[in-house]
Chains A and B, each alone.
Chain A
Protein backbone atom coordinates (compact mmCIF):
# COMPACT_ATOMS: atom_id res chain seq x y z
CA UNK A 1 0.00 0.00 0.00
CA UNK A 2 1.85 3.05 -1.29
CA UNK A 3 0.78 5.52 1.44
CA UNK A 4 1.88 3.26 4.28
CA UNK A 5 5.10 2.46 2.43
CA UNK A 6 5.60 6.15 1.82
CA UNK A 7 5.28 7.08 5.48
CA UNK A 8 7.44 4.14 6.55
CA UNK A 9 10.12 5.23 4.09
CA UNK A 10 9.83 8.80 5.41
CA UNK A 11 10.26 7.52 8.95
CA UNK A 12 13.26 5.51 7.84
CA UNK A 13 14.72 8.52 6.12
CA UNK A 14 14.12 10.66 9.23
CA UNK A 15 15.80 8.10 11.45
CA UNK A 16 18.69 7.93 9.00
CA UNK A 17 18.98 11.72 8.90
CA UNK A 18 18.87 12.00 12.71
CA UNK A 19 21.44 9.24 12.94
CA UNK A 20 23.76 11.08 10.55
CA UNK A 21 23.33 14.36 12.43
CA UNK A 22 24.10 12.67 15.76
CA UNK A 23 27.16 11.02 14.24
CA UNK A 24 28.37 14.30 12.80
CA UNK A 25 27.84 16.04 16.12
CA UNK A 26 29.78 13.32 17.92
CA UNK A 27 32.60 13.62 15.38
CA UNK A 28 32.78 17.39 15.77
CA UNK A 29 32.78 17.01 19.55
CA UNK A 30 35.55 14.45 19.37
CA UNK A 31 37.69 16.68 17.15
CA UNK A 32 37.17 19.68 19.44
CA UNK A 33 38.01 17.66 22.54
CA UNK A 34 41.10 16.15 20.92
CA UNK A 35 42.45 19.52 19.85
CA UNK A 36 41.82 20.98 23.33
CA UNK A 37 43.62 18.10 25.02
CA UNK A 38 46.64 18.11 22.72
CA UNK A 39 46.84 21.93 22.84
CA UNK A 40 47.22 21.76 26.60
CA UNK A 41 49.95 19.21 26.31
CA UNK A 42 51.87 20.44 23.29
CA UNK A 43 54.83 21.59 25.32
CA UNK A 44 55.37 18.20 26.94
CA UNK A 45 54.79 15.54 24.34
CA UNK A 46 53.00 12.68 26.04
CA UNK A 47 55.63 10.32 24.66
CA UNK A 48 58.71 12.33 25.75
CA UNK A 49 61.39 10.41 27.56
CA UNK A 50 62.03 11.21 31.21
CA UNK A 51 65.53 11.77 32.60
CA UNK A 52 67.22 12.66 35.88
CA UNK A 53 69.00 15.92 35.07
CA UNK A 54 67.56 19.41 34.48
CA UNK A 55 65.93 19.97 31.10
CA UNK A 56 66.81 22.29 28.25
CA UNK A 57 67.29 25.89 29.40
CA UNK A 58 64.11 27.85 28.69
CA UNK A 59 64.47 30.46 25.93
CA UNK A 60 67.59 28.62 24.77
CA UNK A 61 67.40 30.24 21.34
CA UNK A 62 67.30 33.79 22.70
CA UNK A 63 70.10 33.12 25.15
CA UNK A 64 72.40 31.51 22.56
CA UNK A 65 71.71 34.16 19.92
CA UNK A 66 72.13 37.00 22.39
CA UNK A 67 75.41 35.57 23.69
CA UNK A 68 76.69 35.06 20.15
CA UNK A 69 75.94 38.64 19.13
CA UNK A 70 77.24 39.93 22.45
CA UNK A 71 80.53 38.09 21.91
CA UNK A 72 81.15 39.14 18.32
CA UNK A 73 79.78 42.67 18.60
CA UNK A 74 80.60 43.99 22.02
CA UNK A 75 83.60 41.84 22.98
CA UNK A 76 85.42 40.58 19.89
CA UNK A 77 84.67 42.76 16.88
CA UNK A 78 87.36 40.94 14.87
CA UNK A 79 84.87 38.07 14.64
CA UNK A 80 82.26 40.32 13.03
CA UNK A 81 81.80 38.00 10.06
CA UNK A 82 80.31 35.19 12.15
CA UNK A 83 76.68 34.39 11.32
CA UNK A 84 74.93 33.97 14.68
CA UNK A 85 71.67 32.76 13.17
CA UNK A 86 73.46 30.00 11.28
CA UNK A 87 75.39 29.13 14.40
CA UNK A 88 72.17 28.77 16.39
CA UNK A 89 70.59 26.66 13.67
CA UNK A 90 73.59 24.35 13.57
CA UNK A 91 73.46 23.89 17.34
CA UNK A 92 69.74 23.14 17.21
CA UNK A 93 70.16 20.67 14.34
CA UNK A 94 72.76 18.81 16.37
CA UNK A 95 70.19 17.57 18.87
CA UNK A 96 66.60 18.41 17.92
CA UNK A 97 64.30 15.41 17.40
CA UNK A 98 67.16 13.03 18.19
CA UNK A 99 67.25 10.47 20.96
CA UNK A 100 69.46 12.19 23.54
CA UNK A 101 71.47 9.03 24.17
CA UNK A 102 72.66 8.76 20.60
CA UNK A 103 74.58 11.96 20.05
CA UNK A 104 77.93 11.77 18.24
CA UNK A 105 80.79 14.24 17.73
CA UNK A 106 79.80 14.39 14.04
CA UNK A 107 76.46 15.90 15.08
CA UNK A 108 78.40 18.96 16.30
CA UNK A 109 80.78 19.29 13.32
CA UNK A 110 78.82 22.00 11.48
CA UNK A 111 78.52 24.05 14.69
CA UNK A 112 82.21 23.68 15.48
CA UNK A 113 83.18 24.78 12.00
CA UNK A 114 80.95 27.86 12.09
CA UNK A 115 81.83 28.98 15.61
CA UNK A 116 85.53 28.16 15.89
CA UNK A 117 88.09 30.94 15.72
CA UNK A 118 91.89 31.03 16.07
CA UNK A 119 93.40 31.30 19.54
CA UNK A 120 96.57 33.35 20.00
CA UNK A 121 99.64 31.36 21.09
CA UNK A 122 100.62 31.21 24.73
CA UNK A 123 97.11 32.07 25.89
CA UNK A 124 95.32 28.73 26.23
CA UNK A 125 94.40 28.01 29.82
CA UNK A 126 93.11 24.54 30.66
CA UNK A 127 91.61 23.65 34.03
CA UNK A 128 90.27 20.82 36.13
CA UNK A 129 88.23 21.16 39.37
CA UNK A 130 89.00 24.89 39.49
CA UNK A 131 86.06 26.25 37.50
CA UNK A 132 85.13 29.26 39.63
CA UNK A 133 88.68 30.41 40.28
CA UNK A 134 89.96 30.01 36.73
CA UNK A 135 87.11 32.07 35.27
CA UNK A 136 87.50 34.78 37.87
CA UNK A 137 91.12 34.89 36.77
CA UNK A 138 90.45 35.17 33.04
CA UNK A 139 87.82 37.82 33.68
CA UNK A 140 90.42 40.01 35.33
CA UNK A 141 93.35 39.02 33.11
CA UNK A 142 92.50 38.85 29.43
CA UNK A 143 95.92 37.42 28.64
CA UNK A 144 94.56 33.94 29.10
CA UNK A 145 91.61 32.15 27.53
CA UNK A 146 89.75 29.12 28.81
CA UNK A 147 87.38 27.21 26.54
CA UNK A 148 84.55 29.18 28.14
CA UNK A 149 86.18 32.42 26.94
CA UNK A 150 86.01 31.32 23.29
CA UNK A 151 82.83 31.93 21.31
CA UNK A 152 81.78 28.29 21.47
CA UNK A 153 82.32 27.89 25.20
CA UNK A 154 80.88 31.32 25.97
CA UNK A 155 77.59 30.46 24.30
CA UNK A 156 77.25 27.07 25.96
CA UNK A 157 78.47 27.81 29.48
CA UNK A 158 75.94 26.88 32.21
CA UNK A 159 73.29 26.16 29.61
CA UNK A 160 71.77 22.73 28.99
CA UNK A 161 69.95 21.17 26.06
CA UNK A 162 68.63 17.86 24.78
CA UNK A 163 66.17 16.64 22.20
CA UNK A 164 63.52 13.95 21.94
CA UNK A 165 62.08 12.07 18.96
CA UNK A 166 58.55 13.34 19.66
CA UNK A 167 57.31 16.90 19.02
CA UNK A 168 58.39 19.59 19.63
CA UNK A 169 61.75 17.84 19.48
CA UNK A 170 63.29 19.66 22.46
CA UNK A 171 62.90 18.38 26.00
CA UNK A 172 62.49 21.23 28.47
CA UNK A 173 61.54 18.96 31.35
CA UNK A 174 64.60 16.76 31.78
CA UNK A 175 67.82 15.64 30.11
CA UNK A 176 69.97 12.55 30.63
CA UNK A 177 72.59 12.55 33.35
CA UNK A 178 75.98 11.15 32.43
CA UNK A 179 75.33 7.98 34.39
CA UNK A 180 72.11 7.43 32.44
CA UNK A 181 73.93 7.55 29.12
CA UNK A 182 77.31 8.88 28.10
CA UNK A 183 76.47 9.95 24.58
CA UNK A 184 74.14 12.72 25.73
CA UNK A 185 74.12 16.14 24.02
CA UNK A 186 75.91 18.01 26.84
CA UNK A 187 78.70 15.52 27.48
CA UNK A 188 79.40 14.99 23.79
CA UNK A 189 79.43 18.75 23.21
CA UNK A 190 81.98 19.50 25.93
CA UNK A 191 84.19 16.55 24.98
CA UNK A 192 84.19 17.54 21.32
CA UNK A 193 84.70 21.25 22.04
CA UNK A 194 87.52 20.45 24.50
CA UNK A 195 89.28 18.30 21.91
CA UNK A 196 89.11 21.15 19.41
CA UNK A 197 90.28 23.67 22.00
CA UNK A 198 93.33 21.52 22.76
CA UNK A 199 94.10 20.99 19.07
CA UNK A 200 94.03 24.75 18.51
CA UNK A 201 96.51 25.53 21.31
CA UNK A 202 100.02 26.71 20.44
CA UNK A 203 103.15 27.94 22.20
CA UNK A 204 103.11 27.79 25.97
CA UNK A 205 99.90 26.43 27.46
CA UNK A 206 98.74 26.70 31.07
CA UNK A 207 96.62 24.44 33.26
CA UNK A 208 95.12 25.28 36.66
CA UNK A 209 94.65 22.26 38.92
CA UNK A 210 93.22 21.89 42.41
CA UNK A 211 95.65 20.80 45.11
CA UNK A 212 92.97 20.63 47.78
CA UNK A 213 90.91 17.82 46.27
CA UNK A 214 91.11 14.49 48.10
CA UNK A 215 90.96 12.38 44.96
CA UNK A 216 94.07 14.05 43.56
CA UNK A 217 94.78 17.14 41.48
CA UNK A 218 95.11 15.25 38.20
CA UNK A 219 92.54 12.62 37.27
CA UNK A 220 92.69 10.46 34.13
CA UNK A 221 88.92 10.43 34.09
CA UNK A 222 88.57 14.21 33.78
CA UNK A 223 88.16 15.90 30.41
CA UNK A 224 91.61 17.40 30.89
CA UNK A 225 93.13 14.03 31.71
CA UNK A 226 91.35 11.97 29.10
CA UNK A 227 90.95 14.32 26.14
CA UNK A 228 92.82 17.59 26.33
CA UNK A 229 96.34 16.41 27.13
CA UNK A 230 96.15 13.85 24.31
CA UNK A 231 95.05 16.39 21.75
CA UNK A 232 97.75 18.96 22.33
CA UNK A 233 99.85 19.08 19.16
CA UNK A 234 103.58 18.61 19.92
CA UNK A 235 104.41 20.44 16.70
CA UNK A 236 102.58 23.54 17.93
CA UNK A 237 102.80 23.41 21.73
CA UNK A 238 106.22 23.82 23.27
CA UNK A 239 105.63 23.95 27.02
CA UNK A 240 102.97 23.14 29.60
CA UNK A 241 102.87 25.27 32.76
CA UNK A 242 100.99 23.73 35.66
CA UNK A 243 99.53 26.02 38.32
CA UNK A 244 98.70 23.89 41.33
CA UNK A 245 96.32 25.89 43.51
CA UNK A 246 95.37 24.99 47.05
CA UNK A 247 92.50 26.59 48.97
CA UNK A 248 93.66 29.36 51.29
CA UNK A 249 93.84 27.67 54.67
CA UNK A 250 92.41 24.60 52.98
CA UNK A 251 93.67 21.03 52.79
CA UNK A 252 97.04 20.69 51.11
CA UNK A 253 96.17 17.37 49.55
CA UNK A 254 98.71 17.66 46.78
CA UNK A 255 101.57 19.79 45.57
CA UNK A 256 103.84 19.72 42.50
CA UNK A 257 105.73 16.78 43.98
CA UNK A 258 102.52 14.76 44.46
CA UNK A 259 101.76 11.40 42.84
CA UNK A 260 99.11 12.40 40.35
CA UNK A 261 101.15 15.40 39.22
CA UNK A 262 104.17 13.17 38.66
CA UNK A 263 101.95 10.94 36.57
CA UNK A 264 100.75 13.91 34.53
CA UNK A 265 104.31 15.10 34.02
CA UNK A 266 105.46 11.74 32.76
CA UNK A 267 102.54 11.51 30.31
CA UNK A 268 103.35 14.96 28.97
CA UNK A 269 107.10 14.40 28.81
CA UNK A 270 106.51 11.24 26.84
CA UNK A 271 104.79 13.42 24.26
CA UNK A 272 107.82 15.71 24.16
CA UNK A 273 106.44 18.70 26.04
CA UNK A 274 108.57 20.67 28.46
CA UNK A 275 106.86 20.92 31.86
CA UNK A 276 107.03 23.54 34.58
CA UNK A 277 104.93 23.13 37.72
CA UNK A 278 104.32 25.93 40.20
CA UNK A 279 102.64 25.59 43.59
CA UNK A 280 100.09 28.34 44.28
CA UNK A 281 100.89 30.57 41.30
CA UNK A 282 100.92 33.99 42.94
CA UNK A 283 98.69 36.03 40.59
CA UNK A 284 95.90 33.50 41.00
CA UNK A 285 96.51 33.14 44.72
CA UNK A 286 96.03 36.89 45.10
CA UNK A 287 92.52 36.43 43.73
CA UNK A 288 91.86 33.77 46.32
CA UNK A 289 93.11 36.23 48.93
CA UNK A 290 90.17 38.54 48.25
CA UNK A 291 88.15 36.13 50.40
CA UNK A 292 90.86 35.70 53.03
CA UNK A 293 92.81 38.94 53.23
CA UNK A 294 94.03 38.31 56.78
CA UNK A 295 95.50 34.87 56.19
CA UNK A 296 99.30 34.60 56.46
CA UNK A 297 99.46 33.40 52.85
CA UNK A 298 97.86 36.66 51.83
CA UNK A 299 100.42 39.07 53.25
CA UNK A 300 101.65 41.51 50.61
CA UNK A 301 105.33 40.68 51.16
CA UNK A 302 106.19 37.01 51.21
CA UNK A 303 109.54 35.42 52.15
CA UNK A 304 110.19 34.43 48.57
CA UNK A 305 110.16 38.03 47.19
Chain B
Protein backbone atom coordinates (compact mmCIF):
# COMPACT_ATOMS: atom_id res chain seq x y z
CA UNK B 1 0.00 0.00 0.00
CA UNK B 2 2.74 2.48 0.95
CA UNK B 3 6.23 2.70 -0.50
CA UNK B 4 8.21 2.64 2.74
CA UNK B 5 9.20 -0.24 5.03
CA UNK B 6 6.63 -1.37 7.55
CA UNK B 7 6.79 -1.00 11.32
CA UNK B 8 9.85 -2.59 12.95
CA UNK B 9 8.96 -5.98 14.46
CA UNK B 10 8.67 -6.13 18.26
CA UNK B 11 8.55 -2.35 18.38
CA UNK B 12 6.97 -2.23 21.84
CA UNK B 13 9.61 -4.47 23.45
CA UNK B 14 12.38 -2.55 21.78
CA UNK B 15 11.09 0.87 22.84
CA UNK B 16 10.36 -0.16 26.43
CA UNK B 17 13.64 -2.07 26.65
CA UNK B 18 15.62 0.89 25.31
CA UNK B 19 13.85 3.20 27.76
CA UNK B 20 14.90 1.08 30.76
CA UNK B 21 18.35 0.52 29.26
CA UNK B 22 18.77 4.28 29.12
CA UNK B 23 17.57 5.12 32.61
CA UNK B 24 19.26 2.17 34.33
CA UNK B 25 22.54 1.87 32.41
CA UNK B 26 23.25 4.44 29.69
CA UNK B 27 22.42 7.60 31.63
CA UNK B 28 20.97 6.94 35.10
CA UNK B 29 21.42 10.64 35.96
CA UNK B 30 18.08 11.37 34.27
CA UNK B 31 16.34 9.73 37.23
CA UNK B 32 13.23 7.59 37.39
CA UNK B 33 10.90 7.45 34.37
CA UNK B 34 7.80 5.36 33.75
CA UNK B 35 8.73 3.45 30.61
CA UNK B 36 5.32 1.81 30.16
CA UNK B 37 3.68 5.21 30.29
CA UNK B 38 6.26 6.50 27.82
CA UNK B 39 5.43 3.69 25.40
CA UNK B 40 1.71 4.47 25.68
CA UNK B 41 2.29 8.15 24.98
CA UNK B 42 4.51 7.28 22.03
CA UNK B 43 1.98 4.87 20.58
CA UNK B 44 -1.02 7.14 21.10
CA UNK B 45 0.65 9.79 18.98
CA UNK B 46 -0.02 7.79 15.83
CA UNK B 47 -2.28 4.78 16.27
CA UNK B 48 -5.88 4.82 15.13
CA UNK B 49 -5.19 7.76 12.86
CA UNK B 50 -4.68 8.31 9.17
CA UNK B 51 -0.92 7.67 8.84
CA UNK B 52 -0.61 10.86 6.78
CA UNK B 53 -2.09 13.08 9.46
CA UNK B 54 0.45 12.81 12.29
CA UNK B 55 1.80 16.14 13.53
CA UNK B 56 4.83 16.90 15.72
CA UNK B 57 2.62 18.10 18.54
CA UNK B 58 0.99 14.66 18.69
CA UNK B 59 4.22 13.61 20.41
CA UNK B 60 3.97 16.32 23.06
CA UNK B 61 3.09 13.98 25.93
CA UNK B 62 5.86 11.57 24.89
CA UNK B 63 8.36 14.43 24.95
CA UNK B 64 7.12 15.68 28.32
CA UNK B 65 7.62 12.24 29.81
CA UNK B 66 11.08 11.70 28.34
CA UNK B 67 12.53 15.18 28.68
CA UNK B 68 15.74 15.68 30.67
CA UNK B 69 18.47 18.32 30.80
CA UNK B 70 21.09 18.39 28.14
CA UNK B 71 24.40 19.38 29.73
CA UNK B 72 25.67 22.78 28.47
CA UNK B 73 28.35 22.70 25.76
CA UNK B 74 27.53 19.08 24.89
CA UNK B 75 25.02 19.51 22.09
CA UNK B 76 26.16 18.15 18.75
CA UNK B 77 24.02 18.84 15.70
CA UNK B 78 24.77 17.13 12.38
CA UNK B 79 23.78 16.48 8.77
CA UNK B 80 24.61 13.48 6.55
CA UNK B 81 27.09 11.79 8.87
CA UNK B 82 25.16 9.85 11.47
CA UNK B 83 27.68 7.04 11.94
CA UNK B 84 30.52 9.50 12.36
CA UNK B 85 28.49 11.49 14.88
CA UNK B 86 27.62 8.39 16.91
CA UNK B 87 31.27 7.41 16.96
CA UNK B 88 32.47 10.87 17.89
CA UNK B 89 29.85 11.55 20.52
CA UNK B 90 30.78 8.26 22.26
CA UNK B 91 27.28 7.58 23.59
CA UNK B 92 27.05 10.87 25.48
CA UNK B 93 30.48 10.70 27.05
CA UNK B 94 32.07 13.27 24.79
CA UNK B 95 28.96 14.92 23.37
CA UNK B 96 25.26 14.29 23.65
CA UNK B 97 23.74 14.13 20.20
CA UNK B 98 19.98 13.80 19.73
CA UNK B 99 20.45 10.02 19.57
CA UNK B 100 22.07 10.14 23.02
CA UNK B 101 19.07 11.74 24.69
CA UNK B 102 16.33 9.50 26.06
CA UNK B 103 13.77 10.68 23.50
CA UNK B 104 16.17 10.20 20.59
CA UNK B 105 17.61 6.95 21.92
CA UNK B 106 14.30 5.11 21.98
CA UNK B 107 13.46 5.93 18.36
CA UNK B 108 16.81 5.73 16.59
CA UNK B 109 16.95 3.49 13.47
CA UNK B 110 13.36 2.30 14.00
CA UNK B 111 10.33 2.63 11.77
CA UNK B 112 6.63 2.80 12.65
CA UNK B 113 3.14 3.78 11.52
CA UNK B 114 -0.47 3.02 12.32
CA UNK B 115 -3.69 2.98 10.35
CA UNK B 116 -7.01 4.77 10.49
CA UNK B 117 -9.81 2.96 12.34
CA UNK B 118 -7.53 0.29 13.78
CA UNK B 119 -5.47 0.21 16.97
CA UNK B 120 -2.82 -1.92 15.27
CA UNK B 121 0.58 -1.03 13.91
CA UNK B 122 1.12 -1.46 10.18
CA UNK B 123 3.87 -4.02 9.70
CA UNK B 124 3.41 -4.21 5.93
CA UNK B 125 4.33 -0.73 4.82
CA UNK B 126 4.48 2.88 5.94
CA UNK B 127 4.31 6.13 3.99
CA UNK B 128 7.59 7.74 2.98
CA UNK B 129 8.04 11.47 3.46
CA UNK B 130 7.67 11.87 -0.29
CA UNK B 131 4.24 10.27 -0.14
CA UNK B 132 3.18 12.44 2.76
CA UNK B 133 5.08 14.73 5.09
CA UNK B 134 2.90 14.33 8.13
CA UNK B 135 3.80 10.71 8.77
CA UNK B 136 4.57 9.19 12.19
CA UNK B 137 8.34 8.95 11.89
CA UNK B 138 8.93 12.31 10.20
CA UNK B 139 6.83 14.14 12.77
CA UNK B 140 8.59 12.31 15.59
CA UNK B 141 12.00 13.52 14.47
CA UNK B 142 10.71 17.03 13.83
CA UNK B 143 9.38 17.19 17.38
CA UNK B 144 12.51 15.59 18.82
CA UNK B 145 14.80 17.94 16.88
CA UNK B 146 12.88 21.03 17.98
CA UNK B 147 12.99 19.86 21.60
CA UNK B 148 16.69 19.06 21.39
CA UNK B 149 17.50 22.51 20.01
CA UNK B 150 15.28 24.28 22.56
CA UNK B 151 17.12 22.64 25.43
CA UNK B 152 20.65 23.14 24.11
CA UNK B 153 22.90 25.72 25.74
CA UNK B 154 26.45 27.01 25.97
CA UNK B 155 28.73 26.23 23.03
CA UNK B 156 26.88 24.20 20.43
CA UNK B 157 28.61 22.17 17.72
CA UNK B 158 27.47 21.30 14.21
CA UNK B 159 29.16 18.51 12.27
CA UNK B 160 28.63 18.77 8.52
CA UNK B 161 29.71 16.50 5.68
CA UNK B 162 31.91 18.37 3.22
CA UNK B 163 31.64 15.52 0.73
CA UNK B 164 27.86 15.41 0.59
CA UNK B 165 26.29 15.91 -2.81
CA UNK B 166 24.20 19.04 -2.78
CA UNK B 167 26.32 20.66 -0.09
CA UNK B 168 27.24 20.32 3.55
CA UNK B 169 24.29 22.40 4.81
CA UNK B 170 21.18 20.86 3.26
CA UNK B 171 18.11 22.96 2.62
CA UNK B 172 15.50 21.76 3.25
CA UNK B 173 16.92 19.88 6.23
CA UNK B 174 16.30 19.23 9.89
CA UNK B 175 19.02 21.58 11.08
CA UNK B 176 17.89 24.36 8.75
CA UNK B 177 14.13 24.06 9.22
CA UNK B 178 13.61 22.79 12.74
CA UNK B 179 16.73 23.12 14.85
CA UNK B 180 18.05 26.59 14.04
CA UNK B 181 14.61 28.21 14.51
CA UNK B 182 14.26 26.46 17.89
CA UNK B 183 17.62 27.51 19.34
CA UNK B 184 17.33 29.77 22.39
CA UNK B 185 19.63 32.63 21.54
CA UNK B 186 20.05 33.88 25.10
CA UNK B 187 21.27 30.44 26.23
CA UNK B 188 23.85 29.96 23.49
CA UNK B 189 27.32 31.46 23.73
CA UNK B 190 28.80 30.23 20.46
CA UNK B 191 28.13 28.08 17.40
CA UNK B 192 31.10 25.95 16.30
CA UNK B 193 30.80 24.50 12.79
CA UNK B 194 32.96 21.57 11.67
CA UNK B 195 32.99 20.66 8.00
CA UNK B 196 34.52 17.21 7.56
CA UNK B 197 35.18 15.52 4.23
CA UNK B 198 34.99 11.74 3.82
CA UNK B 199 38.44 10.18 3.81
CA UNK B 200 39.32 9.96 0.11
CA UNK B 201 36.01 11.72 -0.59
CA UNK B 202 35.49 14.83 -2.69
CA UNK B 203 35.88 18.25 -1.15
CA UNK B 204 32.57 19.63 -2.31
CA UNK B 205 31.98 22.15 0.44
CA UNK B 206 34.11 23.99 3.01
CA UNK B 207 33.94 26.89 5.42
CA UNK B 208 33.21 30.17 3.68
CA UNK B 209 31.95 28.54 0.47
CA UNK B 210 28.58 27.63 -1.02
CA UNK B 211 26.09 26.21 1.46
CA UNK B 212 28.39 26.57 4.46
CA UNK B 213 28.70 30.27 3.69
CA UNK B 214 24.91 30.43 3.59
CA UNK B 215 24.75 28.82 7.03
CA UNK B 216 27.43 31.06 8.52
CA UNK B 217 25.69 34.16 7.18
CA UNK B 218 22.32 33.05 8.48
CA UNK B 219 23.63 32.38 11.97
CA UNK B 220 25.61 35.62 12.10
CA UNK B 221 22.55 37.56 10.97
CA UNK B 222 20.59 35.95 13.79
CA UNK B 223 23.22 37.31 16.14
CA UNK B 224 25.26 34.22 16.98
CA UNK B 225 29.02 34.13 17.51
CA UNK B 226 30.11 31.69 14.79
CA UNK B 227 33.36 29.84 14.08
CA UNK B 228 34.04 27.32 11.33
CA UNK B 229 36.80 24.74 10.87
CA UNK B 230 37.54 22.40 7.97
CA UNK B 231 38.51 18.78 8.70
A4: Cβ under 8 A from any B Cβ: no
B71: Cβ under 8 A from any A Cβ: no
The 4 closest A-B pairs by CB, nearest first: A66-B17, A69-B10, A59-B20, A140-B87
The complex places the Cα of A290 from the Cα of B89 at a distance, in Å, of 11
A residues 152-166 touching B (CB-CB < 8 Å)? 158-159
Show 15 A/B contacts (Cβ-Cβ < 8 Å), sorted by A. Answer: A59-B35, A62-B35, A63-B24, A65-B17, A66-B15, A66-B21, A69-B10, A69-B14, A74-B14, A74-B110, A84-B10, A84-B13, A139-B87, A158-B25, A290-B88
Knowing that A58-B24, A136-B90, A158-B25 touch, tell me 13 more A-B residue pairs with CB under 8 angstroms: A62-B19, A62-B35, A63-B21, A63-B25, A66-B18, A66-B20, A67-B17, A73-B9, A73-B10, A73-B14, A139-B87, A140-B83, A140-B87
A116: Cβ under 8 A from any B Cβ: no
Q: Interface residue tally of chain A, by bracket?
A: 20 to 34
B-contact 0/1 string along A131-152, CB 8 Å cutoff: 0000010011000000000000
Which residues of chain A come closer than 8 Å to B88, judged between CB atoms? 290
Which residues of chain B come closer than 8 Å to A58, judged between CB atoms? 20, 24
- Given known pairs A84-B13, A136-B90, the reply for A70 and B18 (CB within 8 Å) is yes
Q: Establish whether residues A74 and B109, one from each chain, have CB atoms under 8 Å apart when the complex forms.
A: yes
Q: Establish whether residues B87 and A65, one from each chain, have CB atoms under 8 Å apart when the complex forms.
A: no
A231: Cβ under 8 A from any B Cβ: no
A122: Cβ under 8 A from any B Cβ: no
Which residues of chain B come closer than 8 Å to A84, judged between CB atoms? 10, 13
Which residues of chain B come closer than 8 Å to A63, judged between CB atoms? 17, 20-21, 24-25
Which residues of chain B come closer than 8 Å to A158, judged between CB atoms? 25
Which residues of chain A come closer than 8 Å to B10, judged between CB atoms? 69, 73, 84
Complex: chain A residue closest to B93, CB-CB: A132
Which residues of chain A come closer than 8 Å to B25, judged between CB atoms? 57, 63, 158-159
A-contact 0/1 string along B19-32, CB 8 Å cutoff: 11100110000000
Residues of B in contact with A (beta carbons under 8 Å apart): 8-10, 13-21, 24-25, 35, 83, 86-88, 90, 94, 109-110
Which residues of chain A come closer than 8 Å to B90, judged between CB atoms? 136
The complex places the Cα of A136 from the Cα of B90 at a distance, in Å, of 7
Q: Establish whether residues A62 and B14, one from each chain, have CB atoms under 8 Å apart when the complex forms.
A: no
- Main SS class of interface, B: helix
Contact of A73 among B8, B19, B35, B94 (CB under 8 A): B8
- Given known pairs A66-B13, A69-B14, the reply for A74 and B24 (CB within 8 Å) is no
Complex: chain A residue closest to B26, CB-CB: A158
Complex: chain A residue closest to B108, CB-CB: A74
Q: Establish whether residues A69 and B109, one from each chain, have CB atoms under 8 Å apart when the complex forms.
A: no
Which residues of chain A come closer than 8 Å to B83, judged between CB atoms? 140
Shortest beta-carbon distance, A83 to chain B, in Å? 11
The complex places the Cα of A73 from the Cα of B9 at a distance, in Å, of 7
Complex: chain A residue closest to B25, CB-CB: A158
Which residues of chain B come closer than 8 Å to A57, judged between CB atoms? 24-25
Complex: chain A residue closest to B90, CB-CB: A136
Which residues of chain A come closer than 8 Å to B18, judged between CB atoms? 66, 70
A residues 36-88 touching B (CB-CB < 8 Å)? 57-59, 62-67, 69-70, 73-74, 84
Contact of B17 among A62, A139, A140, A290 (CB under 8 A): A62
The complex places the Cα of A219 from the Cα of B9 at a distance, in Å, of 44
Shortest beta-carbon distance, A135 to chain B, in Å? 10
Which residues of chain B come closer than 8 Å to A62, judged between CB atoms? 13, 16-17, 19-20, 35
Which residues of chain B come closer than 8 Å to A66, judged between CB atoms? 13-21
Complex: chain A residue closest to B15, CB-CB: A66
Which residues of chain B come closer than 8 Å to A159, judged between CB atoms? 25
Most chain A CB inside 10 Å of its own CB: which residue of B21, B35, B110: B21
The complex places the Cα of A59 from the Cα of B21 at a distance, in Å, of 9
The complex places the Cα of A84 from the Cα of B21 at a distance, in Å, of 16
The complex places the Cα of A73 from the Cα of B110 at a distance, in Å, of 10
Complex: chain A residue closest to B9, CB-CB: A73
The complex places the Cα of A139 from the Cα of B10 at a distance, in Å, of 24
Contact of B21 among A67, A73, A136 (CB under 8 A): A67
Which residues of chain A come closer than 8 Å to B94, judged between CB atoms? 290
Shortest beta-carbon distance, A53 to chain B, in Å? 16
Complex: chain A residue closest to B21, CB-CB: A63
The complex places the Cα of A67 from the Cα of B86 at a distance, in Å, of 18
Q: Establish whether residues A70 and B86, one from each chain, have CB atoms under 8 Å apart when the complex forms.
A: no
- Given known pairs A73-B8, A74-B8, the reply for A136 and B14 (CB within 8 Å) is no
Which residues of chain B come closer than 8 Å to A64, judged between CB atoms? 17
Which residues of chain A come closer than 8 Å to B14, judged between CB atoms? 66, 69-70, 73-74
Shortest beta-carbon distance, B123 to chain A, in Å? 12
The complex places the Cα of A216 from the Cα of B97 at a distance, in Å, of 37
Complex: chain B residue closest to A59, CB-CB: B20
